[in-house]
Amino acid sequence: MQTKNRCAGSTTTAFILAFFLVVFTLVTVYLFVSKTWWFPETITPIGHEIDVQTQRTLWLTGIVFVLSQLGLAWVVWRYRNRGERARYSHGNNTLEVLWTLATALAFIGLGVLAQFTWAKIHLAEPEPDAVVIEVLGEQFAWNFRYPGPDGKFGRTRTELINSGAGNPFGIDRSDPAAADDIVVPILNVPVNRPIELRLRAKDVIHSFFVRELRLKQDAVPGLEIPLRFVAERTGDFELVCTELCGMGHQRMRAPFSVKTAAEYEQWLRDELALLQSNP
């Protein structure tokens, strides 16, 4: 504290601190601009919208980030102790009102904008011709049920649940609608068709996450939660669990493929044949 004889040390520290802040800001901006590690390209229209909103947010936060950190660096350097008396000021109400309004407008505006994208994800009318697939999370695997040619899911009963015997859903095969229900550990969907996943969980909460879809939805025991999307591009991707579900959480994954219509139909036929040859 002892004011005057510390001025010299003050300059060095101010310089190092300001320099540090500038370098840190530049490096951080570089990492985000070059997208050092980033999501793979999205395969859905909604994914593009999410990316656009993310980009807007990056711009806004980026500007505030750079201005604040560099502003901090500037005052640290400029207003280091020079053995003078500091300016006596309790603030400035005009400035106060100005930046309150500006941030309110920017932040809340951005937030309101986001709701339009959100509405498209979760409030859109279900497509009547959607491909409906049940997704069931369990410790520590994903299971998928396709309704088969009849387009209807058969009855399930809790007491029939037996993952060891290949019946994690507890499908009651005595129900005619259940006879052609296909249960597989991989998720295949056709390209360019509306998909409706119905997420359920058998034991604890799991969460459905595919990076390329940009979608994440918890599968909650006791609830059936729909998740809708259209995949525009074929390819092989990975589905992972993103809600802590127990000791095997990190190995709870499943392959996720978007196939052409023909491939998809063929795969369904193959699975059905397999089911009927080995009921």
Partner 1 sequence: MSTPSHVAAHVHAPPQGFLRKYIFSTDHKVIGIQYYLLALVAVFVGLVLSLLMRWKLAWPNDPVPWFGDGPMLPEQYLALVTMHGTIMVFFVLTTAPQSGFGNYFLPIQIGAADMAFPVINMLSFWTTFVSFLVMVAAFFVAGGAPISGWTGYAPLSAVGEIAGPGQGLGQTLWIVSIAIFCAASLMGALNFIATTIDLRARGLSLMRMPLTVWAWFITAILALLAFGVLLAAGLLLLLDRIAGTSFFVPGGLVFTDKPVPHQGGSPLLWQHLFWFFGHPEVYIAILPSMGMASHLLSTFSRKPIFGYRAMVYAMGAIGFLGFCVWGHHMFASGMSPYSAMAFSVLTMSIGVPSAIKTFNWIGTLWGGQIRFTTAMLFAIGFVSLFVTGGLSGLFLAQPPVDQPLHDTYFVVAHFHLIMGVAAIFGIFGATYYWFPKMFGRFLNEGLGKLHFWITFAGVYLIFVPMHLMGFFGQPRRYAEGTAVQFLSAMEGPQQFVTIAALVTGLAQLIFLFNFLWSLKWGRKAEAINPWRSTSLEWTIPSPPPHDNFGGRQPVVHHGPYEYSVPGEPEDFIPQDAPPRPAPATGD
- Report 78-137 residues binding partner 1 (CB under 8 A): 79-93, 95-96, 99-100, 103-104, 107-108, 110-112, 114-115, 117-119, 121-123
Piece of 66-74, 182-190, 260-268, 270-278 that binds partner 1 (CB under 8 A): 66-74
Name every residue whose Cβ is closer than 8 Å to that of residue 186 and which is 6 or more positions away in sequence: 144, 254, 255, 256, 257
Q: How far is the CB of 71 from partner 1 (least distance, A)?
A: 5
On whether the CB atoms of residues 239 and 142 are closer than 8 A, the answer is yes
Q: How many residues bind partner 1 (CB under 8 A)?
A: 111
Asked if 261 touches partner 1 (CB under 8 A), the answer is no
Q: Which of 8, 33, 39, 261 binds partner 1 (CB under 8 A)?
A: 39
Site residues (CB under 8 A) for partner 1, limited to 222-241:
222-223, 225, 238, 240-241
Of 131, 179, 183, 205, the one binding partner 1 (CB under 8 A) is: 205
Q: Of 136-155, which residues contact partner 1 (CB under 8 A)? A: 138-139
| Consecutive H or E run containing 275 | helix 261-277
Beta carbons within 10 angstroms of residue 202's beta carbon: 19
Alpha carbon distances (Å) from 46 to 68, 122, 148: 33, 11, 28
Pairing of β 187-190 and β 215-219 = unpaired
Of 128, 159, 278, 279, the one binding partner 1 by CB under 8 A:
159
Of 125-133, 178-186, 211-219, 263-271: span binding partner 1 (CB under 8 A): 211-219
Which residues inside 238-257 make contact with partner 1, applying CB under 8 A? 238, 240-251, 253
Which two three-digit tokens encode residue 235? Answer: 């390819």
C-beta closer to partner 1: residue 51 or 263: 51
The string over 21-41, giving b where at least 16 C-beta atoms fall within 10 Å of a residue's C-beta and e elsewhere, is bbeebeeeeeeeeeeeeeeee
- Sign of the CA dihedral 55, 195, 275, 257? negative
